[in-house]
Chains A and B, each alone.
Chain A
Amino acid sequence: MNVLHINQLTKHFGSIKAVDNLSFDVPKGTIYGLLGPNGSGKTTTMGMLLGILNPSSGSYSWFGEAPDAAQRRRIGNLLETPNFYPDLNAIQNLKISCQVKEVDYSHIQRCLEIAGLWGRARDKVKTYSLGMKQRMGVANALLGDPEVLVLDEPTNGLDPQGIAEMRDLIIEVGKQGKTILLASHILDEVERVCSHVAILKKGKLMASGLVHEIIGGGDRVILKSDDLPLLATALRDSPMTSQVKQAGDRVECLLEDEFDSGDLNQFLVQRGIKIKEIFVQKNTLESQFLEITKE
């Protein structure tokens, strides 16, 4: 079952097409990464999904129904920098959010504790650092134990410890069966926490699906030998490799999923080829992202 269905969603700002016919589904219980370079339309997409930007065309539905305000109370959000009244303290601000979300005030302390902000809960928000405001945004997003979290760059402004805590929190929330839509630039974090991703570029969807499918099989292997033509021929003959090419003082190829570098080395030794160096370049979400979004 899909929690979110997006159908040809488009947003123009004057002559600029910020989001261009975007369509994808977010299955229930997934942690879904939304990736893209700056200006790719991630925040604009989230803004439309959260009701603050009017789509130019297209549609979306939450929980299988047309969007409305009551649905948004089931969705925790953190979009860009958190927006709070600077002259009010954290508790006063979250009381307003509780009223809006129709949530009991008893949630406030628990959420501020999870966000690591309970100790400063009675200080005015204008005295908070960017990281503390971000933590406050997280506390606000968690109010009412929502079924879905929409998080846009949640680690913005956080220190390394805060980033690690945020990653653990997202994983923990995900384990509870909740659905998370997460936009982030930190690709190794996304790779670690997300089950699915959609990659945007200039408002268009470039790829979407399971993270391991996007990353794809086949680590890149770089080999050096005294006899490069013989090495290249052997690799081309091997069922373990594909896309073999000789480049300068090395031969590069892709290693099929079911084999590792040890298998390849053993195969080459059996063929009497002496390997001077073997280097495996793991395929990552980052490498795929850069490949997909390069100009």
Chain B
Amino acid sequence: MMKLLKIEWLKIIPNRALWLFIGIYLLATPGIMSYMIKFAKKLRQVSFAQLEYLSFPEVWNTVAYVGSYFHVLLGLIVIYLITREFQFKTLRQQVMDGLSRIQLLLAKISVMGVLTLVAVTSLIITALVTGLLYSEEGIPSNVYQNFSVFGKFGLQAIGNMSLAAALAFLIRKTGICFILFLFFPLLEKLASSLIWAKLDLYLPKAAFGALIPMPGRSSIESIGIDLSGLEPGLALMLSIGYVIVFLGICSISLEKSNL
């Protein structure tokens, strides 16, 4: 696996476009968080302490929820990394030179793993800094509460990237994959409207989305607004299932097709 990661690393190091993508991703969550806090303060005229979702331990979930919207960037990165290999026919060269087809997939999975680690680390740092800035009492004793959200955030990232990888290995064209991936939630809604109204709750993007609840969801629901979504346990099971299915699609597509 280290050999595969090293091969991917050699491809990535000189790729400025990719580093730009990753830079945007890393700055997106802290940037949006900072903007939202400023906006909220202006709107509510509140003190720091009253921004309750920004103090420990709720801040983990808040930042993870905001950060989850940027998984789309990770998906685009994965599509870019895979489809350019088809564009330059470099995957076929690597197979001729001595990689197996499953190693091609494992190499991309290793990159997805590293991106997930980067995403989770960035999330922890952003949440920690936000929490320290907006918790009146500093770090409370229950700071570890909600820590599982990082695992769910990582699963969400892997889920989005595995969906992106499946599209990329199947379709191989960057533009079409970008469009399909970006509009995937709309396609889920469309399928739901045609087949069964509640179907979209169980479809991949919705399942991944349900892993991290909206901050203050219980308060919103208590005033009668229905934020119907999957139960967390079911969302978790479905998400893991979808990751396995998407990686299986990648594997079958690579094994069965001509390169």
Contact = CB atoms under 8 A, between A and B. Distances in A.
Interface residues of B, number: 24
Tell me which of B94, B98, B256, B259 has the highest count of chain A C-beta atoms within 10 A of its own C-beta.
B98
A169 interface: no
B117 to A, nearest CB: 22
B258 A68 contact: no
B34 interface: no
- Residue of A50, A53, A83 ringed by the most chain B CB atoms within 10 A: A83
Interface stretch (A31-39, A90-98, A215-223, A232-240): A90-98
A113 interface: no
Contacts, number: 72
Given A69-B95, A101-B98, 19 more contacts: A47-B258, A52-B92, A52-B95, A54-B258, A69-B100, A69-B103, A70-B98, A72-B96, A72-B98, A73-B97, A87-B15, A92-B14, A96-B10, A97-B93, A99-B6, A99-B7, A99-B10, A100-B7, A100-B94
Interface string A41-53: 0000001001111
Nearest to B84: A85
Which 4 A-B pairs rank lowest in CB-CB distance, beginning with the nearest?
A73-B98, A69-B100, A83-B89, A83-B93
A186 interface: no
A83 B88 contact: yes
B90 interface: yes
Contacts of A164: none
A171 to B, nearest CB: 24
Given A52-B92, A92-B14, A99-B10, A72 B258 contact: no
B10 A83 contact: no
A85 B14 CA distance: 11
B90 A69 contact: no
Contacts of B10: 92, 95-96, 99
Interface of A: 47, 50-54, 68-70, 72-73, 77, 79, 82-88, 92, 95-97, 99-102, 140
A39 to B, nearest CB: 17
8 contacts: A52-B92, A69-B103, A72-B95, A83-B89, A88-B14, A97-B97, A99-B10, A140-B93
B89 to A, nearest CB: 4
Interface string B244-259: 0000000000001111
B3 A50 contact: no
A96 B259 CA distance: 18
Nearest to B92: A52
Main secondary structure of the interface of B (DSSP, over half): helix
A18 to B, nearest CB: 11
B98 A52 contact: no
Nearest to B90: A83
A83 B92 contact: yes
A63 to B, nearest CB: 14
A69 B98 contact: yes
A140 B259 CA distance: 19
Interface in B39-73: none
A205 B13 CA distance: 46
Contacts of B3: 99, 102
Interface string B92-122: 1111111110010000000000000000000
B38 interface: no
Contacts of A88: 11, 14
Nearest to A48: B258
A142 B100 CA distance: 20
A84 B90 CA distance: 6
Contacts of B100: 68-69
Contacts of A73: 97-98
